[in-house]
C-alpha cells in the first residue's frame, strides 16, 4: 500500500480530492471524489453505507457540507449511491442536485429522495458553474450499465471514469496505480464485468479524444500520466470480454470472493457486537454457507472455570468446573486459554485455502474471547460487589463512592480497545416538591420505582449508580451515542407511564459519550450539562451533549 495517510483526503489534482474509504482486504476498493469549487462544490460517486462514514469525515476536513451543491452518480449500483438517503439526513438543507442520466434516475427515484435531479441528457451533457468552470459528461452505455456516464473536468484534465479502468486487486493495493501490473488488474476486472468488445470500443473511442492526465475510477487505483493512460487505453481495446459466460471456470474465483466477504462481515461484527453468543451464531451460519460445517464449539477458561459455547445450547455459555470433551473428528484451533473446535457435517479434508480461511475466523473469535473473558469477569465481580453490600440499600443500585474504581477501569479499557462508552445522567423532576407535598416515605417509593425501571431497561454489562439524592449515573460500555439516546428515551417513557400511589412523575436525562472527550470526568460533566439543558427545556426530556 502507498505510504499515504488514507484516513485523510488525498489531493489528486488541483482542488480535486479522493475522499473514499480504504477497506482492508477488499478487492474492489470503492472510491468517492470531491471537486472543491466554493459554494458549488461537487461530490462524485458518494458511496455506500459501508464507506460513507469515512467519506463524511474527509468532506468535513476539507469544506463545509453546505458548500456541496452537486452530487454526481455515474450509475445506480449500491456501492456508489446507497449513501444518498443518509446524505439527505446529515447534509444542511440548501439548493442541491443529483447529477445523472435519465436511465439511472429511473432507478435512483426508488430511494424516495427529496433532492431534485439534474439529468445530463437534458443539459447537453455538461454542467456550467457560476465561476466559469465547466464539467463534461460522456455517455458510455453498458459499461457496465445502459445509462452509465463518466465525468471529465477540462480544467484539471481529470476523468472520473466510473467502473471503466477499475481494477481487481487481491494483494498490495495502492491508491495510485503502479506500472504494468495495474493493467493486469484492469484486465481481471473488465473481462468478467463488461459485456463485449464492440461496446468497449464505442466508449473508448470517445474517451481517446479527451486530453486526460488523471483517471479517477470508482474501483481499483487512480491512474496518472498521459503515456501510461494511452498504454492502458490500448490494452483495454484488446482484452477479451463477456467472460462471465464461462462461469464454471470462475467458480474458484467466486468461492474465494465469498470467503473474503464472510471474513469482512465477521470482522465488522466483532467490532460492533458485544456478546460472543450472537457472534458465534452468525459465524456458524456464515461458515456453513461455504463449507460443510455442523457445529462450532468455543471453550474459554477464566478464573478457574470453563465456559463452553456450542450450537446445542444456542451458543449461550455453560459454566463448568471440569471439562470432558471428545476431540475426535474436529478441526482444532488453540490460542492460550481459548480453544475453537469446528465439527464437519461429514468427512472432508481441508485445502490450504480452507485452513487459512478457518484460521482467520478462529483468530477473530479468539479476539472476541478476550473481551468475553473480561465480561464474564465483570459479571462475577458484580456478584461480589453485591455480596459485599456495594449497593445502595434503598434503590439496589451501585453506590457512587464504592464503584469509582470500576467505572474508571471500564473507561480506560474503552480507550485502550477503542470501543464506544456512553453515560446517562438522570434526575427525577420536581422531586423536592414530591417530598414536601407527600412526605419522604412516598419520595422513597418514587426513588425505588425509578431505580427499578432503570435496571429493567439496561443490560447486565451496564452499570447503574445512585449518584446522589434523586440523581442517577448510568455507565453504558460498548454503546454509541445514538444507542445511548434510545436507552435514555425508553427509560424516560417508562417513568412517564408509571403511577406510584396515585402520583405521576418524570425524569430528565443528559447523554454523552467518549467521542466528546478523552477524560471520564469531562464526559460525566457534559452529560450533567445536557441534563440541565433538558430541565430548562421544560423537563421530561432527553438531551444529547454535542460539544
> Catalytic residues, which ones?
470
CA separation for the pair 416, 388 (Å, rounded): 29
List, in sequence order, the alpha helices (H) in 334-480.
Answer: 352-387, 404-417, 431-438, 440-456
Q: Residue with C-alpha cell 482467520?
A: 360
3-class DSSP assignment, residue 414: helix
Q: What residues contact 342, with CB distance under 8 A and at least 6 apart?
A: 287, 293, 295, 296, 297, 330, 331, 332, 333, 358, 362
3-class DSSP assignment, residue 370: helix
Q: Residue with C-alpha cell 486487486?
A: 169
338-344 and 331-335 strand pairing: antiparallel
Q: Which residues pair with 291 in a beta bridge?
A: none
Q: Which residues pair with 318 in a beta bridge?
A: 308
CA–chain centroid gap for 69, Å, is 26
Among 539, 474, 464, residue whose Cα is nearest residue 513: 474
For helices 276-288 and 251-272, what crossing angle results, to 10°? 170
CA separation for the pair 66, 238 (Å, rounded): 44
CA separation for the pair 474, 533 (Å, rounded): 18
Across the beta sheet with 293-302, the strand order is 318-320, 305-309, 293-302, 338-344, 331-335
Please count the CA atoms within 13 angstroms of the CA of 14 that sit on its side-chain side. Answer: 6
DSSP 351: P
DSSP 74: S
CA separation for the pair 173, 108 (Å, rounded): 31
3-class DSSP assignment, residue 388: coil
- Asked whether the beta carbons of 103 and 145 are under 8 A apart, the reply is yes
CA separation for the pair 172, 347 (Å, rounded): 36
For helices 276-288 and 352-387, what crossing angle results, to 10°? 160
List, in sequence order, the alpha helices (H) in 91-195.
Answer: 102-108, 181-193
Q: What residues contact 224, with CB distance under 8 A and at least 6 apart?
A: 12, 176, 177, 213, 214, 215
Amino acid at each position: 500500500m502507498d505510504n499515504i495517510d488514507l484516513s485523510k483526503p488525498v489531493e489528486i489534482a488541483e482542488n480535486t480530492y479522493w475522499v473514499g474509504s480504504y477497506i482492508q482486504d477488499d478487492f474492489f476498493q470503492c472510491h468517492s471524489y470531491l471537486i472543491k469549487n466554493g459554494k458549488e462544490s461537487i461530490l462524485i460517486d458518494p458511496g455506500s453505507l459501508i464507506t460513507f462514514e469515512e467519506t463524511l469525515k474527509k468532506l468535513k476536513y476539507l469544506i463545509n457540507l453546505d458548500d456541496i451543491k452537486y452530487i454526481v452518480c455515474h450509475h445506480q449500483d449500491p456501492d456508489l449511491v446507497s449513501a444518498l438517503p443518509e446524505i439527505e439526513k446529515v447534509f444542511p438543507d440548501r439548493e442541491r442536485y443529483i447529477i445523472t442520466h435519465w436511465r439511472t434516475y429511473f432507478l435512483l427515484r426508488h430511494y424516495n429522495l427529496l433532492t431534485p435531479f439534474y439529468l445530463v441528457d437534458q443539459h447537453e451533457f455538461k454542467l456550467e458553474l457560476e465561476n466559469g468552470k465547466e464539467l463534461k459528461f460522456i455517455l458510455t452505455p453498458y459499461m457496465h450499465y445502459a445509462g452509465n456516464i463518466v465525468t471529465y473536468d477540462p480544467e484539471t484534465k481529470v476523468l472520473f471514469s466510473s467502473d471503466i479502468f477499475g481494477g481487481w486487486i487481491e494483494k498490495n493495493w495502492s491508491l495510485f496505480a503502479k506500472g504494468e501490473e495495474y493493467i493486469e488488474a484492469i484486465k481481471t476486472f473488465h473481462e468478467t464485468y463488461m459485456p463485449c468488445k464492440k461496446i468497449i470500443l464505442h466508449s473508448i473511442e470517445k474517451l481517446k479524444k479527451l486530453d486526460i492526465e488523471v483517471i479517477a475510477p470508482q474501483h481499483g487505483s487512480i491512474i496518472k500520466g498521459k503515456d501510461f493512460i494511452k498504454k492502458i487505453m490500448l490494452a483495454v481495446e484488446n482484452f477479451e470480454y463477456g467472460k462471465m459466460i464461462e462461469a464454471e471456470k470462475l467458480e474458484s474465483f467466486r468461492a474465494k470472493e465469498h470467503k473474503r466477504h464472510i471474513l469482512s462481515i465477521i470482522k465488522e461484527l466483532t467490532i460492533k457486537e458485544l456478546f460472543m453468543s450472537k457472534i458465534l451464531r452468525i459465524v456458524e451460519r456464515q461458515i456453513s454457507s461455504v463449507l460443510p460445517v455442523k457445529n462450532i464449539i468455543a471453550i474459554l477458561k477464566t478464573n478457574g472455570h470453563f465456559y463452553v459455547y456450542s450450537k446445542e445450547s444456542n451458543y449461550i455459555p455453560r459454566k463448568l468446573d471440569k471439562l470432558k470433551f471428545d476431540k475426535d473428528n474436529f478441526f482444532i484451533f488453540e490460542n492460550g486459554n481459548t480453544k475453537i473446535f469446528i465439527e464437519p457435517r461429514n468427512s472432508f479434508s481441508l485445502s490450504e485455502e480452507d485452513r487459512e480461511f478457518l484460521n482467520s475466523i478462529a483468530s477473530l473469535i479468539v479476539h472476541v474471547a478476550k473481551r468475553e473473558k473480561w465480561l464474564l469477569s465483570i459479571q462475577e465481580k458484580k456478584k461480589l460487589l453485591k455480596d459485599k453490600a456495594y449497593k445502595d440499600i434503598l434503590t439496589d443500585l451501585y453506590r457512587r463512592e464504592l464503584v469509582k474504581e470500576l467505572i474508571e477501569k471500564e473507561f480506560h479499557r474503552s480507550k485502550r480497545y477503542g470501543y464506544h462508552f456512553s453515560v446517562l445522567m438522570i434526575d427525577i423532576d420536581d422531586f423536592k416538591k414530591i417530598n414536601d407535598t407527600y412526605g419522604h416515605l412516598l419520595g422513597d417509593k418514587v426513588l425505588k420505582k425509578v431505580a427499578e425501571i432503570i435496571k429493567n431497561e439496561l443490560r447486565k454489562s451496564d452499570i447503574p449508580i445512585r449518584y446522589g439524592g434523586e440523581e442517577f449515573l448510568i455507565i453504558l460500555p460498548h454503546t454509541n451515542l445514538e444507542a445511548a439516546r434510545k436507552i435514555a428515551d425508553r427509560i424516560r417513557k417508562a417513568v412517564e407511564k408509571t403511577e406510584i400511589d396515585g402520583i405521576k412523575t418524570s425524569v430528565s436525562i443528559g447523554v454523552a459519550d467518549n467521542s466528546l472527550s478523552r477524560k471520564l470526568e469531562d464526559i460525566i460533566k457534559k452529560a450533567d450539562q445536557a441534563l440541565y439543558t433538558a430541565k430548562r427545556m421544560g423537563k421530561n426530556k432527553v438531551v444529547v451533549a454535542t460539544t
